[in-house]
Structure 1
Amino acid sequence: MIAMVHDNPQLPLIDSAGMALATEFKHRITYTKKIISYLRSPYSTCNDKILPVMLAMLDNYQGAKYGYSEDMLRIMHSTAHVFLTSSYLLEKYCSYCPQQCFVTNFNIKPSLWKTPPTWLMDDIKTFLENSEIPLSIDWPTNWRSHIDSSYLSVELVYESTLIENYTQIATMTAVDALPNVGGQTGLWIGVSFLSIMELAEILY
């Protein structure tokens, strides 16, 4: 069994980010959530819009509302390099993988212990025999080994309800840049607005 903790808009990349879970154990997955927000244009080229090349794939997930994923786009592009032999097609569909503006990460702490406990075996046996699950021919004699080899339990627990938020903030805007440049030039070379006007008057 493969398990993965992800946010609702995140497309689960089971092959690369999934965690394998073995039978005969109870698995506890403890997690904390972290959100990283990057500056948008003009400070970066980050993107939240789903590109057409991803829309074609996401149409197969009926009812799911997945967001843009830079990792997914890179995986699709690496696969496309195998099938697209034309340099024009490669340039058209695989030339640009913009950075995500929002990235959600989950820090995972897995743990496990042997299950099922002895006191639970009879209840599991009764449940299976009264269900419609097909049982093996040697079930009457080897039912304990069958339960041991098939039983798996997963418990998902949040370590903290607090969410870490890392947000990029512009320390200087376009409005701040003009007086900053003027102040620096005035400090280092003695240039001021009045001296610039006087120079313009002399020249013209």
Structure 2
Amino acid sequence: MIQEMNNKVAPIDSVHHQAWKPEQRKPRRRSIIREFALNTSTHGLPGIARSESKHNCLFWTASFVVFLAVMTFFITQSIRDYFSYPTQTTLSYVVERSQAFPAVTFCNYMPARYDHLIIDVLNYTNSLGITNTSDTTTFTVSQAVAIREFLRHKLDANQSITEYFFSIDSMLINCTYNNLQCTSSDFITFLSSRYGSCYTFNAKLKNTSYTGIRYTNDNGGVGQLKLRLYAHSSLYVPYISEEVAAGMVVMIHDNTQFPQIDIVGMNLAPGFKHQLNYRKKANYFLSAPYTDCTDKIPLAMKAMFDRYEGAHYAYSQSACFTLCVQAYIYQECGCVSPVEWSARSVAVPGTNRIVVASLCAAENPCYTEAAIRLSNSTDLWDEFCSDCTQECTKIEYLVTPSLSKAPSTYFAYVTKAFVEASSVPLPTNWSTNWITEVEQNFVSVEIMCESIQVENYTQEASLNAAGVLSNVGGLSGLWIGVSFLSIMEFVEMLYRLLRRQYQIYCYGA
């Protein structure tokens, strides 16, 4: 009996040691969440997990929810502020010992020469029946009015009209830059409907780089341009210049700026030396999405700039406005404004086709009515001129003018010799009245760099991505103590919950 029982008892060492280990219970989902809540660095959750009463749990839960809502509000506001792309402008003064000397454009106040114009204008007005005379010594108001129509007719026929205006050689007595002589070949020519032929010194050309333009420290100088000019008022066409007896117009602008001298030109009276001291001011704007500024030149503007003897001009908002108005006038009238000679290249709306439009007749009311209609209609303006945004870079020159009486006795004789050596006809009383003529026509202008300090106005983003991240981190840390490590703790909890769910799904335990 004892033997049989011994045979049925298993030896102790035959039982596997794993059988004596207590079975490990896998953590439940609730315990995983509670463990996270007790140990997380996020404020409020440990208080909820430790609560031993419903009141305590409710207090911590309400506190956490309220502070979480407040934090969410401020974080959302911070992100919205970022996507509104706020900016700020900083002012700095930068010393540029060697800076590009600006471009200088000048024109005679009178656009046309009487001696070159009168015969052709008489033939034109006689052909239209406006006049019936060959007298070139008498000029009437009706003939003066017909001059613009005569020039418009020539332009529409693609005929040259430069011979009717004052050439630079007939006006430029002397030119020096930093004490080096400059000549008429240092200027480029363009046509202005108001002033005729105009001339620009130191414009940036397409076939040159910025090394091809003049700098203020060239030849050891300080940036000084001297121009001595003669107006030839004896050849002014009557009734055209209205109350102005004689004078010049000048504009100081950036080397790549389109010179709208008709609008921003400065009048220079004869009989004086005009001193124009300038200071440079630069404005830099942020591109999209902060502003809608652009540097892209439209096709019509490129065609417009091609009329400026190879000048390499940059995008101009004012030129863009002129061209969009011309495009609307062309659509409505089939011609463009006769006062914008250089803006005859029109982009056909909805296409990339450029049309060289004819100029409207002065008596045609269509172009003025269309321009008024466009300026008064917001919808039309948005349709035709919405692309005319501001320039991303804008260079300005702040000018301080002064003047003194000129010319001196010595330079009066120099001017007399220049006028007599030119091909321009002399006034009838020149021999006895030349000193008065010189005083009434001599214009001297000196443009000089006043300061090597440049005012830079730079637009900057007042809130960037790093700033938003700092705001979010500060707000989340302030209200509920969340950091990146807190987020990783939350990620770990999610991983454990998913793993537990997977085990339940696969093994049923």
| TM-score, scaled relative to structure 1 | 0.83
Shift of 1:36: 1.1
Q: Which moved more, 1:156-165 or 1:2-11?
A: 156-165
Whether the aligned pair in 2 keeps the contact of 1:40 and 1:46 (CA below 8 Å) is: yes
Shift of 1:60: 2.2
AA in 1 matched with 2:269: A
Map 1:1-204 → 2, pairs under 5 A: 1-85=248-332, 89=349, 93-188=384-479, 190-193=481-484, 194=486, 198=490, 201=494
Q: Which moved more, 1:20-29 or 1:122-131?
A: 122-131
1:110-165, Cα deviation, whole Å (9 max, x unpaired): 11222112343233323433443321222111111211111111111111122222
CA distance in 2, matches of 1:54, 1:184: 50
AA in 2 matched with 1:103: K
Alpha-carbon spacing, 1:126–1:195, altered in 2? closer, same or farther (3 Å): closer
Whether the aligned pair in 1 keeps the contact of 2:276 and 2:402 (CA below 8 Å) is: yes
1:158-195, Cα deviation, whole Å (9 max, x unpaired): 11122222222334432442242232233245555526
Shift of 1:79: 4.1
Whether the aligned pair in 1 keeps the contact of 2:273 and 2:444 (CA below 8 Å) is: yes
CA distance in 1, matches of 2:396, 2:424: 38
Aligned-residue CA RMSD (Å): 2.9
Structure 2 SS opposite 1:152: strand
Whether the aligned pair in 2 keeps the contact of 1:30 and 1:156 (CA below 8 Å) is: yes
AA in 2 matched with 1:10: Q
Whether the aligned pair in 1 keeps the contact of 2:276 and 2:446 (CA below 8 Å) is: yes
AA in 2 matched with 1:185: S
AA in 2 matched with 1:101: C
CA distance in 1, matches of 2:307, 2:489: 65
Count of aligned positions = 203
**Paired-residue identity, %:** 42
Alpha-carbon spacing, 1:196–1:183, altered in 2? closer, same or farther (3 Å): farther
CA distance in 1, matches of 2:325, 2:419: 45
Whether the aligned pair in 2 keeps the contact of 1:35 and 1:165 (CA below 8 Å) is: yes
AA in 1 matched with 2:286: L
CA distance in 2, matches of 1:175, 1:53: 41
Shift of 1:49: 1.5
CA distance in 1, matches of 2:421, 2:304: 42
CA distance in 1, matches of 2:386, 2:462: 31
Alpha-carbon spacing, 1:134–1:9, altered in 2? closer, same or farther (3 Å): same
| TM-score, scaled relative to structure 2 | 0.36
Structure 2 SS opposite 1:169: strand
CA distance in 2, matches of 1:157, 1:69: 25
CA distance in 1, matches of 2:274, 2:402: 6
State the structure with more CA Rg. Answer: 2
AA in 2 matched with 1:45: D
Whether the aligned pair in 2 keeps the contact of 1:80 and 1:94 (CA below 8 Å) is: no
Structure 2 SS opposite 1:109: strand
AA in 2 matched with 1:129: E
CA distance in 1, matches of 2:482, 2:316: 49
CA distance in 1, matches of 2:269, 2:252: 17
CA distance in 2, matches of 1:13, 1:196: 62
CA distance in 2, matches of 1:189, 1:66: 57
Q: Which moved more, 1:112-121 or 1:26-35?
A: 112-121
Unaligned segments of structure 1, at least 5 residues = none
AA in 2 matched with 1:152: V
